[in-house]
Amino acid sequence: MEMPLFPLGTVLFPGGVLPLKIFEQRYLEMTKACLRDGTPFGVCMIREGREVGTPAIPSGVGCIARIREWDMPQLGIFLLISEGTERFRLGTTRIDRSGLMIGEVETLPMPDDTPKPPEFDACVAMLKVIVEKIGEDKLPSPARYEDPAWVAYRLAEFLPLESPARQRLLEMESADLLMGVVAKLLRQQGLSI
């Protein structure tokens, strides 16, 4: 399927929440169309380029985003709360006349979660400790503590990682590998799991 793309300097994970301030004309038009038609857009980490100006070169795997809340505090600015739904692989892209990148995307399955990774119980416990300190409202709802990929993605959001490291986590196909890497990163931060 085709969808508008929003290349950013950050990574959106499935189940994650991404606040956005929209002010560039091409993204204002994209937002209006998504709100009008109830359609999603794709978020991809920028491989080369910048968020503003000439369209950037996006990473090959991104996340489909749906607008959950929006506000227009002044003319020409949208404030959005978007939520990641599914990972996708990016195919061909084109730039429309407004400068918006449109991509052919193929949805990817969530990382396989059978059997539960060895670090699963410890990672769930660590996430619950973090949530207890920051508040349940900071976590995307509904909480899915039984899903290894969801738990690993939430932990990755809290870790002080550069965007390329987050991108590598988004691209992982196995929940076992994903959680194993996140557990290792937690240990490197001095967090015992």
Q: Are residues 46 and 135 in the same domain?
A: no
165 found inside a domain: yes
Give pLDDT tens digits for 145-167: 999 999 999 999 989 999 999 99
Q: Are residues 166 and 128 in the same domain?
A: yes
Domain hosting 144: range is 120-188
| CATH number of the domain residue 151 falls in | 1.10.4060
Q: Are residues 128 and 38 in the same domain?
A: no
Count how many domains the chain has.
Answer: 2
Question: Is 174 or 168 the better-scoring residue by pLDDT?
Answer: 168
Exposed/middle/buried for 28, CB within 10 Å: 0-12, 13-18, 19+? middle
Q: Are residues 40 and 104 in the same domain?
A: yes
- Can you give the pTM of this predicted structure? 0.90
115 found inside a domain: no
Q: Are residues 182 and 132 in the same domain?
A: yes
Give pLDDT tens digits for 37-68: 999 999 999 988 776 667 788 999 999 999 99
171 found inside a domain: yes
**Alpha-carbon span 179 to 59, nearest angstrom:** 22
| CATH number of the domain residue 87 falls in | 2.30.130.40
Q: Which of 8, 150, 147 has its CA nearest to residue 85?
A: 150
Cβ distance 15 to 156 under 8 Å? no
Q: Are residues 146 and 67 in the same domain?
A: no
